[in-house]
Protein backbone atom coordinates (compact mmCIF):
# COMPACT_ATOMS: atom_id res chain seq x y z
CA UNK A 1 0.00 0.00 0.00
CA UNK A 2 1.42 3.35 -1.04
CA UNK A 3 1.44 5.94 1.72
CA UNK A 4 0.99 9.47 0.42
CA UNK A 5 2.63 12.39 2.15
CA UNK A 6 1.01 15.82 2.16
CA UNK A 7 3.47 18.41 0.82
CA UNK A 8 2.60 22.09 1.14
CA UNK A 9 3.05 24.33 -1.95
CA UNK A 10 6.19 26.02 -0.53
CA UNK A 11 7.75 22.92 1.06
CA UNK A 12 11.52 23.12 0.71
CA UNK A 13 11.38 26.79 -0.32
CA UNK A 14 10.58 28.55 2.94
CA UNK A 15 11.22 29.99 5.52
CA UNK A 16 13.51 32.72 4.22
CA UNK A 17 14.90 35.81 5.93
CA UNK A 18 16.87 38.55 4.16
CA UNK A 19 17.73 41.84 5.85
CA UNK A 20 14.71 42.85 7.90
CA UNK A 21 12.17 41.06 5.71
CA UNK A 22 10.87 37.54 6.29
CA UNK A 23 8.95 35.11 4.09
CA UNK A 24 6.79 32.42 5.65
CA UNK A 25 4.35 29.96 4.17
CA UNK A 26 0.74 30.22 5.30
CA UNK A 27 -0.86 26.80 5.26
CA UNK A 28 -4.59 26.94 4.58
CA UNK A 29 -6.27 23.58 5.10
CA UNK A 30 -9.61 24.32 3.50
CA UNK A 31 -10.23 26.93 0.82
CA UNK A 32 -13.06 27.27 -1.74
CA UNK A 33 -13.93 29.81 -4.40
CA UNK A 34 -17.49 31.09 -4.22
CA UNK A 35 -19.14 32.61 -7.30
CA UNK A 36 -22.73 33.60 -6.42
CA UNK A 37 -25.37 32.87 -9.05
CA UNK A 38 -27.06 35.91 -10.62
CA UNK A 39 -29.05 37.82 -8.02
CA UNK A 40 -27.90 35.62 -5.14
CA UNK A 41 -25.14 37.76 -3.62
CA UNK A 42 -27.20 38.85 -0.61
CA UNK A 43 -28.39 35.32 0.09
CA UNK A 44 -24.83 33.97 -0.21
CA UNK A 45 -23.53 36.65 2.12
CA UNK A 46 -26.20 35.85 4.71
CA UNK A 47 -25.52 32.11 4.45
CA UNK A 48 -21.78 32.63 4.88
CA UNK A 49 -22.33 34.85 7.89
CA UNK A 50 -24.48 32.12 9.37
CA UNK A 51 -21.99 29.34 8.67
CA UNK A 52 -18.56 30.86 9.27
CA UNK A 53 -19.28 34.25 10.84
CA UNK A 54 -18.18 36.37 7.87
CA UNK A 55 -20.26 37.52 4.89
CA UNK A 56 -19.09 38.50 1.40
CA UNK A 57 -16.38 41.15 1.61
CA UNK A 58 -16.79 44.34 -0.47
CA UNK A 59 -14.71 44.68 -3.66
CA UNK A 60 -10.97 44.92 -2.97
CA UNK A 61 -11.41 43.91 0.66
CA UNK A 62 -10.70 40.84 2.80
CA UNK A 63 -12.32 40.01 6.12
CA UNK A 64 -11.37 37.42 8.69
CA UNK A 65 -12.92 36.11 11.89
CA UNK A 66 -11.46 33.35 14.00
CA UNK A 67 -9.94 30.86 11.58
CA UNK A 68 -12.40 31.74 8.79
CA UNK A 69 -11.96 34.36 6.12
CA UNK A 70 -13.62 35.79 3.04
CA UNK A 71 -11.55 37.60 0.46
CA UNK A 72 -12.72 39.35 -2.72
CA UNK A 73 -10.96 37.43 -5.46
CA UNK A 74 -12.10 39.06 -8.69
CA UNK A 75 -15.20 39.95 -10.66
CA UNK A 76 -18.09 38.07 -9.03
CA UNK A 77 -15.86 35.68 -7.11
CA UNK A 78 -14.68 35.33 -3.52
CA UNK A 79 -12.20 33.05 -1.83
CA UNK A 80 -13.48 31.52 1.39
CA UNK A 81 -11.41 29.86 4.09
CA UNK A 82 -13.64 27.46 5.94
CA UNK A 83 -16.29 24.83 5.40
CA UNK A 84 -19.38 26.11 3.58
CA UNK A 85 -22.55 24.71 1.99
CA UNK A 86 -24.14 26.98 -0.63
CA UNK A 87 -26.21 24.54 -2.68
CA UNK A 88 -28.36 26.44 -5.19
CA UNK A 89 -26.85 29.82 -4.28
CA UNK A 90 -23.35 29.81 -5.73
CA UNK A 91 -20.80 27.87 -7.73
CA UNK A 92 -18.40 26.52 -5.11
CA UNK A 93 -15.08 25.05 -6.19
CA UNK A 94 -12.52 23.46 -3.92
CA UNK A 95 -9.25 25.41 -4.05
CA UNK A 96 -7.49 23.67 -1.17
CA UNK A 97 -3.84 23.04 -2.11
CA UNK A 98 -4.31 25.04 -5.34
CA UNK A 99 -2.63 28.21 -4.09
CA UNK A 100 0.74 29.04 -2.65
CA UNK A 101 0.11 31.45 0.23
CA UNK A 102 3.02 33.48 1.55
CA UNK A 103 3.26 36.04 4.34
CA UNK A 104 5.92 38.68 3.78
CA UNK A 105 6.77 40.89 6.71
CA UNK A 106 9.34 43.46 7.78
CA UNK A 107 10.30 47.12 7.87
CA UNK A 108 11.27 47.23 4.16
CA UNK A 109 8.36 45.13 2.90
CA UNK A 110 6.86 47.96 0.82
CA UNK A 111 10.23 48.61 -0.87
CA UNK A 112 10.53 44.92 -1.76
CA UNK A 113 7.04 44.75 -3.26
CA UNK A 114 7.51 48.06 -5.09
CA UNK A 115 10.15 46.31 -7.20
CA UNK A 116 7.70 43.68 -8.38
CA UNK A 117 4.13 44.93 -8.18
CA UNK A 118 2.74 47.65 -10.49
CA UNK A 119 0.20 49.08 -7.99
CA UNK A 120 0.77 51.43 -5.06
CA UNK A 121 0.80 49.34 -1.87
CA UNK A 122 1.84 52.11 0.52
CA UNK A 123 -0.14 52.27 3.76
CA UNK A 124 -1.76 55.64 2.93
CA UNK A 125 -3.88 54.02 0.25
CA UNK A 126 -3.61 50.29 0.85
CA UNK A 127 -4.66 49.64 4.42
CA UNK A 128 -5.06 46.52 6.52
CA UNK A 129 -7.85 44.41 5.00
CA UNK A 130 -7.35 45.85 1.52
CA UNK A 131 -6.78 43.25 -1.16
CA UNK A 132 -5.93 43.49 -4.86
CA UNK A 133 -5.74 41.19 -7.85
CA UNK A 134 -2.66 42.31 -9.72
CA UNK A 135 0.74 41.12 -10.90
CA UNK A 136 4.01 40.22 -9.25
CA UNK A 137 6.58 40.16 -12.01
CA UNK A 138 4.72 38.38 -14.80
CA UNK A 139 2.55 36.39 -12.40
CA UNK A 140 -1.09 36.91 -11.56
CA UNK A 141 -1.46 37.19 -7.79
CA UNK A 142 -3.74 38.33 -4.99
CA UNK A 143 -2.13 40.66 -2.45
CA UNK A 144 -3.69 41.51 0.91
CA UNK A 145 -2.34 43.80 3.61
CA UNK A 146 -2.58 41.87 6.89
CA UNK A 147 -0.62 44.26 9.11
CA UNK A 148 1.33 47.51 9.30
CA UNK A 149 4.40 45.82 7.78
CA UNK A 150 2.90 42.56 6.56
CA UNK A 151 1.22 41.31 3.38
CA UNK A 152 -0.19 37.99 2.28
CA UNK A 153 0.49 36.99 -1.32
CA UNK A 154 -1.29 34.21 -3.19
CA UNK A 155 -0.13 32.71 -6.46
CA UNK A 156 -1.09 29.51 -8.23
CA UNK A 157 0.61 26.54 -6.61
CA UNK A 158 2.58 25.69 -9.77
CA UNK A 159 4.22 29.13 -9.52
CA UNK A 160 5.41 28.74 -5.89
CA UNK A 161 9.07 28.40 -6.88
CA UNK A 162 8.95 31.46 -9.15
CA UNK A 163 7.12 33.47 -6.50
CA UNK A 164 9.72 32.73 -3.84
CA UNK A 165 12.58 33.34 -6.30
CA UNK A 166 11.22 36.72 -7.42
CA UNK A 167 10.68 37.82 -3.82
CA UNK A 168 14.11 36.61 -2.71
CA UNK A 169 15.90 38.56 -5.49
CA UNK A 170 13.95 41.71 -4.58
CA UNK A 171 14.64 41.19 -0.86
CA UNK A 172 18.38 40.84 -1.53
CA UNK A 173 18.39 43.95 -3.71
CA UNK A 174 16.65 46.06 -1.09
CA UNK A 175 18.84 44.69 1.71
CA UNK A 176 22.03 45.43 -0.30
CA UNK A 177 21.02 49.04 -0.90
CA UNK A 178 20.24 49.60 2.78
CA UNK A 179 23.94 49.06 3.50
CA UNK A 180 25.07 52.15 1.57
Partner 1 sequence: MRLTCPNCGERDRREFYYYGDAIALRRPAPDAVPEAWDDYLHNRKNPAGDTTDLWFHEAGCGAWLVVDRNTVTHAVHGATLAEKAKR
Q: Can you give the binding site for partner 1, defined by CB under 8 A?
A: 59-60, 74-75, 77, 118-119, 132-135, 140
Q: What minimum distance in Å lies between the beta carbon of 123 and partner 1?
A: 17
What is the Cα–Cα distance from 65 to 68, expressed in whole angstroms?
5
What is the Cα–Cα distance from 83 to 68, expressed in whole angstroms?
9
83: left (phi over 0), alpha (psi -120 to 50) or beta: beta
In the complex with partner 1, the residue whose CB is nearer, 18 or 113, is 113
Q: How many CA atoms lie within 13 A of 173 on its CB side?
A: 13
In the complex with partner 1, the residue whose CB is nearer, 14 or 73, is 73
Q: What minimum distance in Å lies between the beta carbon of 121 and partner 1?
A: 13
Q: What minimum distance in Å lies between the beta carbon of 27 and partner 1?
A: 26
In the complex with partner 1, the residue whose CB is nearer, 14 or 132, is 132
Contact 126, 60 (CB under 8 A): no
Q: What minimum distance in Å lies between the beta carbon of 178 and partner 1?
A: 27
User: Following DSSP, what letter does each residue of 61-118 receive, concatenated?
Assistant: BEEEETTEEEEEEETTEEEEES----TTTEEEEE-TTTEEEEEEEETTHHHHHHTT-S
In the complex with partner 1, the residue whose CB is nearer, 50 or 120, is 120
In the complex with partner 1, the residue whose CB is nearer, 84 or 132, is 132
Q: What minimum distance in Å lies between the beta carbon of 133 and partner 1?
A: 5
Amino acid sequence: MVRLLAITPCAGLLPLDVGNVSLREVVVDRMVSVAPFVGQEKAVSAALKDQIGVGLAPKNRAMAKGGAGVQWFGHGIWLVRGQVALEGLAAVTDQSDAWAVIRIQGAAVEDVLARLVPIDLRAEGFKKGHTARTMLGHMSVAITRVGGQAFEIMAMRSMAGTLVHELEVAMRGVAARSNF
